[in-house]
Structure 1
Amino acid sequence: MKLSNKYISKLAAPAFALFFSIGCVEDLKELNNNPNAINDLAYGIQLTNMQLSFTGGAHEIFRTSLGYCFSSIQQMADLESPVSGVFLPGDKYLNDPLFAAAFFEEAYINEYRNIADYVNRTASDPAAVNFHAIGRIWKVMSAHRLTDIYGDVPYFEAGMGYISNQWFPSYDSQEEIYMDMFKELDAAVNSFDSALGGPGNNDILYAGNLEQWKKFGYSLMLRLALRISKANPSEAESWAKKAINGGVMTSNEDLARVTHQVGGHRNPFNAGFNTRDRIRLSATFVNWLKDHGDPRLDIISWVQNGGPHQGLPNGYDNTTIQGYPGGSDINAYSNINPALRQWDSPSLHLTYAEVELMLAEAALKGWHSGSPKEHYEKGVTAAMRQWAIFGVEVPSFGEIETYLKENPFSAEKGMELIGEQYWAATFLVNWEGYAKWRQTGFPKLTPVNYPGNATNGQIPRRMTYSREEYSTNLQNVSQAVSRQGSDDFTTRVWWDKE
């Protein structure tokens, strides 16, 4: 059986060279020594690499994130190109295994090998307590995205090939993964020691600010707690309360983002948005913004031919679109504002706006003593003001106050209103928006039923595993499928209940 490159890191090459040279004569041993090898990689440099790997490259961000997550929850749509075909298979629920598996492939190639090594190395270094705590939180950040997209995935043995020879990792149930992620976050946030050093500017999220890392850890804990609110309400309530009592984000200064640089690590959405000229904002999303008089419409939407804001409806092709206003003229439909898709535009990972909307949800459930209305309004305000980090003009507090009066919160429709605002707030954090939509069912979306679709006209509930797994890790992936359900787009992950 051949070894998959998902589990055998390039960092493991020296170990394999040594293994295969045992039978060689003593004089040849020195040939296995690489004079350019880094034997003691600085923790800070490795942390930077981990954060950039999670932020991603154009490959997986375009394929899984933009190709499926964005379009499945009807924030983006596309028209088939006569030359290149379909850009967003999630727009019409088509089966593209390479697009669906891109996050899976890249996570195990680029993220987990570094995360496993980093967490393992920092665990035994008493001077690296803060590095280790950040690594454990980042491991959860990476794992939760992966399991939310695919369900059961390698977790406990992931990235352990060159540490403990676990070359073919087993798949763990999502329930087990979630329970461990809570424990990891709890241990990590309580282990920070302000008397010890940290990563400083090598930490491209918070520049080593431990208080902000604690807020991030607890905010992530709250996100995960609400995610399992239908699957395990008692555990969800317990962890939500712990997160809130621990201290979550309190302003847009705390939001987790990566700032990119021209000539350095580019914003991964840049290539997808700027080179795929048949992608546009969905009519569902644009119409929701228009119907609510949302000032974010002018921030997010840009129409190339100078016409009015108009989204492209999901599930159409060059023939069926002819009867729709704008027809097949792609430049008549709303594109994403170029100011939001530059090489140096920031990447968002977890925002203060999300946190306030999550607090509104927790309060609505009776898990938090705060006012759902107040948290909702703070969340909407933060979501509108956070666009400032892209260098664009944002709504004034007066404009936001008017918007909230025209779109008031009501407890009777509380979850629907929170779900819709979370959907809007996580635009550009679409993998999270995709997960939250599945958890809450809001906004209420009308599925499309394009000919030849892979879901019988249902919005995809998960992505499918890498095809390579069936040739390199067959036994373990087969056990996961047997436990979780068919490896297709309609199988629900553990926390995704009716």
Structure 2
Amino acid sequence: MKINIINISKKVLLAPVMALVLSTACVEDLKEMNLNPNEISSLDYGIQLTKMQLAFTGGSYEIFRTSLGYCFASIQQMADLESPVSGVFLPGDKYLNDPLFASAFFDAAYFSEYRDIADYVNRSSEDPQAINYHAIGRIWKVMSAHRLTDIYGDVPYFDAGQGYISNLWFPKYDAQELIYKDMLKELDEAAASFDDMMPNPGDQDILYNGNIDQWKKFTYSLMLRLAMRISNVAPAESEAWVKKAIQGGVMTSNADLARVTHQTGGWINPFNAGFNTRDRIRLSATFVGWMKDNNDPRLNIIAWVENGGEQMGLPNGFDNTSIQDYPGGADLSAYSNVNPELRQYDSPSLHLTYAEVELLLAEAAIKGWHSGSAKEHYEKGVAAAMRQWDIFGIEIPSEAEINDYLKSHPFDSAKGMEMIGEQYWAATFLVNWEGYSKWRRTGYPVLTPTNYPSNVTNGQIPRRMTYSGEEYSINSDNINEAVSRQGADDFMTRVWWDK
């Protein structure tokens, strides 16, 4: 028999090649089978930005606990009535310790916000077509970080959200002073980097629909807020940044205020559940009393009395027993509640308002850091704060009512800081974490603390919130370093700028 050696050799040589081809094909088939058809391989910047903006706006978990539970109540805009059945809804009303309430903003920020923010900023930094997206991401990182550091003090900032980017799973806590220096730098650089000729997020940006001019105003307005925050501890730096913000161009009308519009059936207003399901929460007697004493036309916009009686706030620091001698007793229907029109599923959320900006400019004028008139800025701020309620679709004070109010409350430079502080307190209702920070910095309005039994502050208004308890288990070295630097992890340790 004649054997074809050449053909055998070819077959022998081709066998490994064919095996490799078949093996490679099988591997590719297996890879294709393991692909998730619903997985997003390249996340759109606009989609992620929307998610970041909604995450900052918050859910009912953190808004009810830290925002309503402590910030609203601590500055005496809200109060609650403890009962044996319901217990306490607002621990800040009586300066009680509820670790889950106090740490809710901390937990939510690092779970819901920072992973997306870090990823978004990192990805957009490498894309030359994403200049505007990247600028907005840097600004939004500051927006989130400044609320967090104002409430807690030293927090993870430079390392935050870096786990999936650089495997940094245990972030160090940064000193608030360094955080503020970087936040102001970030705002400055981001504002300068905007380019009208490059793509923007359009309607995926739920604050400004991609309007770059409004983003610049927002950025410099946020810079003004942050710059003024450090005025007691770093006056020279504060002055320089205030002037830079003013020169850059801040908000000029209520059309510029930063808000998120909500949708029924979508991402609903997080205050809705807090106000509507906690039936022992009412407006504070301090807040309602101040508005009544000043004949403030906002009272009937903000407040509503269930039984139809006269507006009457609930005093802070009372329970079912001690309230009995108060005019309304324990009948909560007799006390002023938040107007239902302000707490619907689709009610907007406010983040930074034009009214705040004008009042900050009035303060800058008083300090001699701005050539404008403190009186004019004060009046513009008060008027804007009264007009801003129209975004809720409700009737606002008439121009005649606003003018009458300003005439009956003329600006007095000798009491300028007090008047500005009180109006800022009223203007930031529903932006209450900002009102809480402003009160701590200025001491206005002057509030009388409560001294409820078993309070943990010795009868003093809390100066900060406490860290998440989980951090002591999973990030113990870093949190302990922060506590040793900043001070005890309790409600009375002051953050860096609170002097």
TM value normalised by structure 2: 0.93
Deviation at 1:31?
Answer: 8.1
Residue in 2 that maps onto 1:103? 105
Residue in 2 that maps onto 1:13? none
* Cα 1:28/1:83, change in 2 over 3 Å: farther
Deviation at 1:38?
Answer: 1.4
Can you give the 5+ residue segments of structure 2 that lack an aligned partner in the other structure? 1-26
Residue in 1 that maps onto 2:9? none
Q: Is the counterpart of residue 182 in structure 1 residue 184 in structure 2?
A: yes
- Quick one: distance in 1 between partners of 2:457 and 2:322? 20
Deviation at 1:32?
Answer: 6.8
Q: Is the counterpart of residue 360 in structure 1 residue 397 in structure 2?
A: no
Q: Quick one: which of 113, 117, 137 aligns to 1:135?
A: 137
Deviation at 1:115?
Answer: 0.2
Residue in 2 that maps onto 1:16? none
Structure 1 ranges of 4+ moved more than 6 A: 25-32
3-state secondary structure, aligned to 2:79 = strand
Query: How many pairs align?
Result: 473
- Quick one: distance in 2 between partners of 1:81 and 1:188? 50
Q: Is the counterpart of residue 459 in structure 1 residue 461 in structure 2?
A: yes
Deviation at 1:466?
Answer: 0.1
3-state secondary structure, aligned to 1:302 = strand
3-state secondary structure, aligned to 1:316 = coil
- Quick one: distance in 2 between partners of 1:81 and 1:331? 15
3-state secondary structure, aligned to 2:275 = helix
Q: Read off the aligned partner of 1:227 and give its amino acid letter.
A: R
Residue in 2 that maps onto 1:423? 425
- Quick one: distance in 1 between partners of 2:183 and 2:37? 39
Residue in 2 that maps onto 1:268? 270
Residue in 1 that maps onto 2:253? 251
Residue in 2 that maps onto 1:200? 202
Residues 85-234 of structure 1 mapped to structure 2, 5 A cutoff: 85-234=87-236
Q: CA RMSD in A?
A: 1.3
- Quick one: distance in 2 between partners of 1:397 and 1:223? 28
- Quick one: distance in 1 between partners of 2:279 and 2:409? 34
Residue in 1 that maps onto 2:22? none
Deviation at 1:33?
Answer: 4.9
Tell me which structure has the larger Cα radius of gyration: 2
Deviation at 1:37?
Answer: 2.2
Q: Read off the aligned partner of 1:476 and give its amino acid letter.
A: N
Residue in 2 that maps onto 1:65? 67
Residue in 1 that maps onto 2:21? none
3-state secondary structure, aligned to 2:468 = coil
CA deviations on 1:220-271 (whole Å, 9 max, x unpaired) are: 0000000000010000000000000000000000000000011111000000
- Quick one: distance in 2 between partners of 1:325 and 1:142? 42
| Native 8 Å contact 2:425 2:445 kept in 1 | yes
Give percent identity, aligned residues only: 77
Deviation at 1:492?
Answer: 0.2
3-state secondary structure, aligned to 1:74 = coil
Can you give the 5+ residue segments of structure 1 that lack an aligned partner in the other structure? 1-24
Residues 339-418 of structure 1 mapped to structure 2, 5 A cutoff: 339-418=341-420
Moved more, 27-36 or 40-49: 27-36
Moved more, 92-101 or 79-88: 79-88
- Quick one: distance in 1 between partners of 2:346 and 2:122? 32
Moved more, 345-354 or 388-397: 388-397
Residue in 2 that maps onto 1:288? 290
Q: Quick one: which of 443, 460, 481 aligns to 1:441?
A: 443
Residue in 1 that maps onto 2:315? 313
| Native 8 Å contact 2:269 2:343 kept in 1 | yes
3-state secondary structure, aligned to 1:136 = helix
Q: Is the counterpart of residue 483 in structure 1 residue 485 in structure 2?
A: yes
Q: Quick one: which of 326, 329, 340 aligns to 1:327?
A: 329
CA deviations on 1:391-436 (whole Å, 9 max, x unpaired) are: 1111111111110111111110000000000000000000000000
- Quick one: distance in 2 between partners of 1:207 and 1:243? 23
- Quick one: distance in 2 between partners of 1:465 and 1:203? 31
| Native 8 Å contact 2:83 2:319 kept in 1 | no
3-state secondary structure, aligned to 1:428 = coil
TM value normalised by structure 1: 0.94
Deviation at 1:29?
Answer: 7.5
Moved more, 451-460 or 34-43: 34-43
